[in-house]
Structure 1
Amino acid sequence: MVDKCLLLLFNNWYHRRYWLWTYLFTGDCFCWILFRRKAFIRNGHCCLWAGLGTVVFPFVLPWIMNRFFSNNYKDALLFESVLIFLCIFFGLLMIPLPIEPSEQRRLRINLQKEAKKQVKKTITNIENENKQTKQSITEHESLCLIIIKIQFYSFEIHFDESKELSLNRKNKFDITEYLNNYPYPLCSERSIKHGYNQKVIAVSSYESDRDNINLTNKVWYYTLEFISEAKYFYPDWRVRIYYHNLNITNDEIYKIENYYKNVDFCSVYNIDILSNITYYMPGRFHRFIPIADRFVDIYMSRDIDSPIFKREVLSVNQWLLSDKIYHIMRDHPLHYDVILAGLWAFKLSKSKTMTNEIVENLFSKTILSSYNSMTGDQDFLKDYVWPFAQNHSMQYDSFHCDLYPLSIPFPISKLSNSQFVGCRRPCRYYQDPPGPCPIKCLLHKNEDTNLC
């Protein structure tokens, strides 16, 4: 078809030797204009060279056949068959393969289609719900909210004015009192619909070249992966994503929340009682905010770039059936910290004294200023959570059972050596494989030490 069009348009020009360069130049311009994105530029060039092959093939093949196979039709037939096979083979190689798993690609496409149809309807419904919620708030609750804000801001001012206040408990403003009286969850208006006694999995999601440039480049992909896994493994838990400095619109948030149903996006800028905590609380700490939420009963802290395995889920289920307050996991030789920031959990309602003490330290600007390093969140847990947790926790440890005598083995073996709890996606062998476990840390003495 391209051949005939060129013949009709250019007539004698088509038979000159410059027709090839005209075709290539026109095709490249066409690809540059219509296929701006990198993924489409490759498709455009595939179409371009396929068309070029269509034009050249009728001229080149007869010349080759007459030149080399004029007296041997069998060799000519064999050559033509091989040539056709090579064309098909290289044509298939030019088809761009997907850069993400098919399941996630289908999910992303479905989300995009659904967004085009429902985004206006969703925004309208949410606006109506917001109006109804505001109308349902009584004057008494509004007045209490104003008083709480004033008291909290007063707490911030007085806390910074003098260190002597921290030495005198009678004069120190206790933030836990205000948080316990705060009438809303420390997340979003959507999360209030789930009521009290929520079981929450909290993660921090933000873009920061300082923390982890690899995570920054894939933070959006990891977020969808984690939500999908949590929905499957923890169907009765809520996922709270505490985010800031994230390239996401409100429309995209509404779309994801309505699609998955098990997730609440929590902008740290929009939690009124906390004001803007980003200027003194690092992003890694934001996932600890639900500890201060009176709507939360059981809390888990996780890393958004670590997948959820059945090995982890079974250990959590064992802990939930026990009387232990804390849940701690260590599944790698480098997991030598007492508590890993993304591998622990807490039954908040079991000990209000512990909870209030942790919350008081968590929202102290003076204390947090000392934990601004890359491992600041784990250092904070070591100093302010571990003293409570070491004798009231169920600890699962594959390598350091000698350092932590109260630790026990995981309930099942790993699927592979690289799929340990807390591994970084995609959890392949070259990513810090843990190696064999000590014999004394095995669940069964005949267990494979590489899959302990």
Structure 2
Amino acid sequence: MAGNQARCAIAYTLYVPYSKALPKMDRYLTALQARRVEAVRHFPGWDVRLYLDGRFTKGMADVIRQLGYTVVHLPPSDRSLPEWHHVSSRLRVIDDPGVDVFMMRDLDSALSPRDAISVWVWLSSGVEFHAMHDHPHHKDVLMAGMWGGRSEAARRRFAPRGIDAFLAEAAANVDHRGNDQLLLTKAVWPHIEGNTLHMDMPQTYCKYDGKLCVPFPMAPHSGQVIDGFVGEVVASKALMPRPVDVECKALAEGLDKTAVFEEADLQQQWVKDAWPRMRSFCN
């Protein structure tokens, strides 16, 4: 799906929060290879882009590039900024003049035929932005990993001075204790309301956009029709009941001799905890 020759990108963020111990990083790293395989299958021709926290090493960035990602290796995170500021680094794809259409997705959620067909219907509609709600628990007006838009429209409507300026202004006005969905609700949604095509499985969030709220173009998901809902969390067998159906041995081999984190304490946690689980799963 090339989007009528538009230059399209799927944007991800890989970020390590300062507020807690090292998360179950094997969940996200195992997902890297799965998401790339799914993108080739369901979104051929799309650039798969990862905005990588500066707490990861250059060697780690190189390993991810070998999987087929475009990696933007960011500087180390500023601890004074809210966590949602770092998670939202994927918004920087909007500034790229080489990208016409962007999708925001989460690494621990699979790319599926349901997702791809929904995006194709949105692109064909001519509407500037796209948002999905595919589960009763999807209650925010914009789910952070389930929306997208046309880059020119995003720059014009909510980031005319660029994403860095947009995030800096938001950091001064949006509650630091919130998440990236709070950022979208407060700083993005007011500017794109009325120009967003909502696809709403439970049909309970149509209040957000009236006539631009439509059902998903595919039948309701079930075990036989579609394997899960858009935004469903799937990750490594070590952490989730349903394993990623993709070979990740090559990724594990790439990481075997690569320091993953710049900081010694994080690297020690990785080697002791998450890496053995991931190596066992991928081999």
Normalization by structure 2: what TM-score? 0.68
Q: Deviations over 1:36-87 (max 9, x none)?
A: xxxxxxxxxxxxxxxxxxxxxxxxxxxxxxxxxxxxxxxxxxxxxxxxxxxx
Matched, 1:411 2:217: yes
SS in 2 for 1:412: coil
**Counterpart of 1:59?**
none
Seen in structure 2, the aligned counterparts of structure 1 residues 235 and 374 have a Cα distance that, compared at 3 Å, is same
The match for 1:394 among 193, 197, 209 is: 197
Q: Distance in 1 between matches of 2:7 and 2:75?
A: 22
Structure 2 residue identity aligned to 1:227: R
RMSD of aligned residue pairs (Cα, Å): 3.1
**Counterpart of 1:372?**
176
Matched, 1:235 2:44: yes
C-alpha contact 2:158 2:188 (8 A) present in aligned 1: no
**Counterpart of 1:32?**
none
Displacement of 1:289: 1.0
**Counterpart of 2:116?**
313
**Counterpart of 2:132?**
329
Q: Distance in 2 between matches of 1:345 and 1:360?
A: 15
Displacement of 1:313: 0.7
Seen in structure 2, the aligned counterparts of structure 1 residues 295 and 403 have a Cα distance that, compared at 3 Å, is same
Structure 1 residue identity aligned to 2:81: Y
Q: Distance in 1 between matches of 2:196 and 2:43?
A: 21
Q: Distance in 1 between matches of 2:108 and 2:32?
A: 8
Query: Which sections of structure 1, spanning at least 5 residues, go unmatched?
Result: 1-195, 271-275, 430-452
Seen in structure 2, the aligned counterparts of structure 1 residues 214 and 255 have a Cα distance that, compared at 3 Å, is closer
Structure 2 residue identity aligned to 1:224: Q
Matched, 1:207 2:16: yes
Q: Distance in 2 between matches of 1:198 and 1:386?
A: 24
Seen in structure 2, the aligned counterparts of structure 1 residues 392 and 358 have a Cα distance that, compared at 3 Å, is farther
Q: Distance in 2 between matches of 1:379 and 1:372?
A: 10
Seen in structure 2, the aligned counterparts of structure 1 residues 316 and 418 have a Cα distance that, compared at 3 Å, is closer
Higher relative strand content? 2
**Counterpart of 1:421?**
230
Q: Deviations over 1:119-138 (max 9, x none)?
A: xxxxxxxxxxxxxxxxxxxx
Seen in structure 2, the aligned counterparts of structure 1 residues 392 and 299 have a Cα distance that, compared at 3 Å, is same
C-alpha contact 1:207 1:245 (8 A) present in aligned 2: no
Q: Distance in 2 between matches of 1:205 and 1:360?
A: 18
Q: How many residues align?
A: 225
C-alpha contact 1:292 1:359 (8 A) present in aligned 2: yes
Seen in structure 2, the aligned counterparts of structure 1 residues 423 and 407 have a Cα distance that, compared at 3 Å, is same
Q: Deviations over 1:164-209 (max 9, x none)?
A: xxxxxxxxxxxxxxxxxxxxxxxxxxxxxxxx96311111102337
C-alpha contact 1:292 1:355 (8 A) present in aligned 2: no
Seen in structure 2, the aligned counterparts of structure 1 residues 411 and 425 have a Cα distance that, compared at 3 Å, is same
C-alpha contact 1:339 1:381 (8 A) present in aligned 2: yes
C-alpha contact 2:31 2:108 (8 A) present in aligned 1: yes
**What is the correspondence of 1:162-241 to structure 2 with a 5 Å cutoff?**
198-208=7-17, 210=19, 215-241=24-50
Displacement of 1:332: 1.2
C-alpha contact 1:307 1:423 (8 A) present in aligned 2: yes
The match for 1:302 among 88, 98, 105 is: 105
Seen in structure 2, the aligned counterparts of structure 1 residues 350 and 286 have a Cα distance that, compared at 3 Å, is closer
Displacement of 1:301: 0.7
C-alpha contact 1:340 1:378 (8 A) present in aligned 2: yes
Structure 1 residue identity aligned to 2:177: S
Sequence identity of aligned pairs in percent?
A: 24
Displacement of 1:211: 7.0
SS in 1 for 2:156: helix
Matched, 1:284 2:90: no
C-alpha contact 1:341 1:378 (8 A) present in aligned 2: yes
The structure, 1 or 2, with the larger RCO (C-alpha pairs under 8 Å, 6+ apart) is 2
Q: Distance in 1 between matches of 2:154 and 2:178?
A: 30
Q: Distance in 2 between matches of 1:389 and 1:351?
A: 8
Query: Which sections of structure 2, spanning at least 5 residues, go unmatched?
Result: 243-283
C-alpha contact 1:242 1:267 (8 A) present in aligned 2: yes
Matched, 1:257 2:65: yes
Displacement of 1:249: 4.4
User: Of the two, which has the highest radius of gyration?
Assistant: 1
Q: Distance in 1 between matches of 2:218 and 2:37?
A: 23
SS in 2 for 1:236: coil
Q: Distance in 2 between matches of 1:373 and 1:333?
A: 24
Seen in structure 2, the aligned counterparts of structure 1 residues 347 and 401 have a Cα distance that, compared at 3 Å, is same
Displacement of 1:247: 4.6
C-alpha contact 2:13 2:87 (8 A) present in aligned 1: yes
Q: Distance in 2 between matches of 1:295 and 1:332?
A: 33
Higher relative helix content? 1
Structure 2 residue identity aligned to 1:310: P
